[in-house]
Structure formats: structure tokens, C-alpha cells
Structure 1
Amino acid sequence: MPLENFRNGSLNVRQWGEGAPLLLVHGLGTSSDLWMHQLRPFASRYRVVAVDLPGFGRTQRLPGRGDGGDGLSTIVDDLAELCSRLRGPVHYLGTSMGGFFGLALALAHSGLLRSLVLCNTAARNVISPEIVATRLAALRTSTMDELGEMVTRQALGPLADPFLHEWFRELIARNSPAFYRHYLSVILNDFDVTDRLGEIALPALVLTGEHDRVISPAHGAELARRLSAGALHELAGTGHIACAEQPEAFNRAVLDFLAGVDSVDAGQPTETRS
């Protein structure tokens, strides 16, 4: 399908299902293809919208608007414009870097959102300097296939299905080295909204991976604790790509949370699950 035009440039936006809008925002180096295990179950209840952020998937441009705005703020502008078009309020689900943008969006445009689901993420860029350094070095000296192999080893947990290794390596290998480097070294470098988390009143679910070596579950726990209405759920046995490593558990946690939010909106009691 054709890309959609936004003020800052075009974006690839994909949609399935009907109902209240649920926006899925991927992490660094992936695309809307990340959500292959979520689309069918989520679209049975919601209007699911998955975007390729600038520089990823079919959105082959760097974020920027030519007026000196930094990349992060223009991405948030893009997401705000998309949410406005969806005539929400929107349930927002973001993983890793997508969680960073969700927090920034909630702080800048809270009226566009109904809830936040923040997966394998944190309130600040806590990706270790060692991981950043090894990836930047690989971008200088290795092929994207080799980078994909390294990132896959860092990201997936020890119990991940071997099939996922090849699939995820291919997702990373498709990236433009220049775009990937720009995000890693510029856009994400100084992200930190820790001191403003108390301003976010939206109901929020923070999902962490038991074996996440990129953003540890302790950072997710800190995020949930600092949010005004944050809940924490750890997904056993998963690494940094929980949505693909344990999709059934991931989907159940997300849908149960969203059902609770929706029931409050409808004035119905929330079902308690054991």
C-alpha cells in the first residue's frame, strides 16, 4: 500500500481490524514486521495500526523537518499527527526505542492517548556503553549480516526458538547502516524523562523480559514504579524481544490490560484473573 504523507515526510502505516485504535511502534533496527505474532489476536478486538518509523521498513528517510528540530522531537510530531488522524484516544504499545517515543508522546500530547503499554524499555537510555560501542564498531567494520548476528545474540533470551534467530537477524540486516548509526549515536543518545514520569497520568503497563540483557528488568521496574498509574508484568524466560519470544504470554498480558482500561471507560467492573 502507498506511504502516507505527513508534515515531516512520508510514513509507512499498516492497518488491520476495527474498533478502538491500538498503535504498535517498533524498536531500533526493526519495523512493523516485528509484530507478526500480534496482528491477528489484536485485530480481533482493535483497529491495529503499525508504523515503520523514519529510517526503517518502507519509511526510508531520516527524521527531520529542516528547521533545526532534533530527530526525537520530529518522530514524536509524526506519531502525534498519526494519532490525531486515528481519531482516538489511542492505545499506544511501544517496545524498546518505541517505548521511549511513547513516553515522550505522552508528555507532549497526553490528550491523544488512552493508555500506554511499554515493553522492554526504560525512562532513559540505559543501553550499556559496551553494547553501543560494539554495534557502532560493527557498523564501521562489518557487514549488516554480521551486525544482525551480533544484535540477535544480544537481544534474544536463552530460551528463544532457533527459528527466531534467523528471522530477527534478517530484520536487522535489512537496515541502512547510516540510518541505524544515526539513531544509535544521535537520536537515542541523551533520552531521559525520568524526572517527568510523575506527569504521566495515563494507565500504563510495563512489560519486562526476565533475561533482557539490553534493557534489564530492573529498569522496567523503576519505570513502572515512577509512573502515576503504572503496573509491572515480567515475562518469564524472555529476552529483549518478548513479543516474539513468548507471544502467547505477551499477547495475553497486553489484551488483559487493555480490557481492563476499556471496561473502566465503559463503566464496567474489571474481571479479575488468577
Structure 2
Amino acid sequence: MSAEVTFPLPAPYGSRTATVRYHRRGSGSPLLLLHGVGHHWQGWEPVLPALAERHEVIAVDLPGFGTSPGLPDGVPYDLTAAVPTLAAFCAALGLDRPHVAGNSLGGLLALGLGRAGAARSVTALAPAGFWSEAERRYAFAVLAYMRLGATLLPPSAVDALSRSAAGRTVLVSSIYARPGRRSPEGAAAETRALRGATGFAPTLAAGRRTRFTGDIAGVPVTIAWGTRDRVLLRRQGVRALREIPGARLVRLPGCGHVPMSDDPQLVARVILDSCAAAA
């Protein structure tokens, strides 16, 4: 089921509202899924069936991405605003400390929710915020190149490229180690989502000042990194473990930056194991 909710933003933005669209399925304890920059909730589709067998899954289009409208003027796209906004979204849906899993930007936000005490468990897949300055500039250059390509390609060319494995390599090989495994519909849809992401530029602007610091106490944390991640290099996982020494660091063999399509079974198992640790 896909739906949307409009809710008041937390202080100091409480006089304004945000609207978030999301997909919900399954039953059990709630599990919130957060995508990366320029992506949309459908990036989680390869792992949704396995996750929904054990959890009520809420996959979100973050504000300014997918079909969710952007944040109101004056509300920044940084951690200080994004984490309370997601907590307010959970409150609007009646979600009490859900399990949270996120990829890239979503992984950073998942860690932020865990640090704020708003998550029951955290699974961060290649989370942002553990980079050196050179690594951040490199990652942002890759993302900007992807955005430029998505903007310049006519919709008919996107559809044509998505129909072959070679074409999907052109469209999405920056984020997938095995782009041929992504469905034609999925590759085309996420290219269009990247093209139309109004939150892309303000998120990258906020990210220039973002580093995740501070431990996360009392919450099971799993950090997982693909061995073939070409956006955020896997050595950043070691830095993450130094910052959050109680976390579990997991290697995802053969996976790229967005691992859910590269190895759905492995990624689903990692998330489910992290959720089970909270029990």
C-alpha cells in the first residue's frame, strides 16, 4: 500500500508542515527503510518480500526525493533538521521506535535516529558521513555526474537503455556492482527519480559540512559495506567502527553502493539479524 502523510515539523520549524509519501506492507514490529541521495523507496523492492515476512515495512520517499515534495523554504536538508523530521513522521504514523535500515544518506539518517533514541535497531548500508574530505569530494563528483547524465538523457533514451543489460550498465553501474540484475523498469524509474529530485542540490550542499560523530548507546547497530562500492569506499566502514565501537561491521561480497539489488538475500539477512538483535 502506498500512501502519504502531512505532519507538523518539529521546533524551530513547527509552524510549517512536511508531506512524505511511503509504501507500507507486511506485519510485525515496524521497520523503517530510508534510501540514498537521488533515489526513491523502490530501491528497496528486491528485499521487501523477505523483510515483510517478519516486519511491517515502511519504505519512505525522503522529502525532495521520489514522489515526496521538498521541505518548506528555510528548512535545511542537514542532520539537525532531517532526523527530527523523520522522528515526527514516525510519530504521525504511530511508529514507536521502529527498527531503521538505511542506505548511503539513509544510512546516515538511520544512525542519527539511533543516536537520538528514536530507533530500536539500526542497519546502515554504506552510510555517508565517515569520509575524508577527498573522499567526500570524490563521492559528490560521482553523484553529480550521475545527476547530469539523468538530466541530459531524453526519457525515450532512458527507456531504450533500460531494456538491455548493457544499457542498464550505462544507467546505473555507478551504484550497482551487478547492474544487469536491476529490472528494466527499476533502472528506468530510478534514473527518472534522480532527474526530478528537488532535494538533490540542497542535500549535497548540507553534506559538505556533515560528519557523523558520537557513539550510539543501547541500540544494536550494524554497518555493512559492499566490497565493490565505487561511491563510498569500504575503508570508511573501519572509521565508522572506530566512532561506534559497539557496532557490528559486515562485509557484503560482490556488492556495490546500493547492495539491495546486487544480493537481495544477503542484504535482507543482514537487516533481519540486526532487528533480531534488539529482541
When the two structures are superposed, what TM-score results if normalisation uses the length of structure 1? 0.80
Deviation at 1:99, TM superposition (A): 1.0
* Aligned Cα root-mean-square deviation (Å): 2.7
Match of 1:207 in 2: 224
**Aligned AA for 1:212?**
D
Q: Which residue of 2 aligns with 1:154?
A: 174
1:74 to 66, 76, 81: 81
Residue 135 of structure 1: how far off its partner (Å): 4.1
Structure 2 stretches lacking a partner, 5+ long: 9-16, 162-167
- Mean Cα displacement is larger for which, 31-40 or 171-180? 171-180
What are the Cα deviations for residues 68-95 of structure 1, in whole angstroms up to 9, with x where unaligned?
Answer: 3312243323211122233322111000
Distance 1:226 1:9 in 2: 32
Counterpart-to-counterpart distance in 1, 2:183 and 2:209: 30
> Are residues 1:15 and 2:24 paired?
yes
Equivalent of residue 174 in structure 1, options 155, 167, 192: 192
Change (3 A) 1:225 1:201: farther
The reply on whether 1:98 has 2:106 as its aligned counterpart is yes
Question: Structure 1, residues 39-74: CA drift from partner, whole Å, max 9, x if none?
Answer: 221111111111111122221x2223x4x3312243
CA distance in 1 between counterparts of 2:113 and 2:278 reads 19
- Matched residues, percent identical? 23
| 1:88 pairs with 2:105 | no
Name the amino acid aligned to 2:272: L
**Conserved 8 A contact 1:21-1:86:** no
Map of 2:207 onto structure 1? 188
User: 1:202-224, CA deviations, whole angstroms, 9 ceiling, x for partnerless residues?
Assistant: 21000100110101111122212
Q: Secondary structure at the match of 1:113?
A: coil
CA contact (8 A) 1:201 1:227 kept: no
Give the CA deviation at 1:168: 5.0
Q: CA offsets, 1:215-265, max 9 Å, x none?
A: 111112221232142001111111111111001111112212222221xxx
Q: Match of 1:3? A: 4
Supply the distance in 2 between the matched residues of 1:174 and 1:136 (Cα, whole angstroms): 10
Matched residues in 2 for 1:137 and 1:174: separation?
Answer: 12
- What SS class does the counterpart of residue 198 from structure 1 fall into? coil
- Which one-letter code corresponds to 1:99 in the other structure? G
Q: Contact between 1:154 and 1:214, CA under 8 Å: does it hold in 2?
A: yes
Q: Which amino acid aligns with 1:220?
A: G
Structure 1: distance between partners of 2:112 and 2:105? 11
CA distance in structure 1 between the partners assigned to 2:234 and 2:67 by the alignment: 31
For the residues of structure 2 that align with 1:132 and 1:13, how far apart are their CA atoms?
A: 24
C-alpha deviation, 1:132, in angstroms: 4.5
Which amino acid in structure 1 is aligned with residue 47 of structure 2?
Q
| Residue number in structure 2 paired with 1:45 | 54
Partner SS state of residue 46, structure 2: coil
Residue in structure 2 matching 1:224, options 238, 241, 250: 241
Select which of 137, 142, 145 maps to 1:134.
Answer: 145
Q: What are structure 1's unaligned runs of at least 5 residues?
A: 263-274
Q: Give the aligned partner of residue 121 of structure 2.
A: 115
Alpha-carbon distance in 1 for matches of 2:229, 2:153: 25
- CA distance 1:16–1:113, shift in 2 (3 Å): same
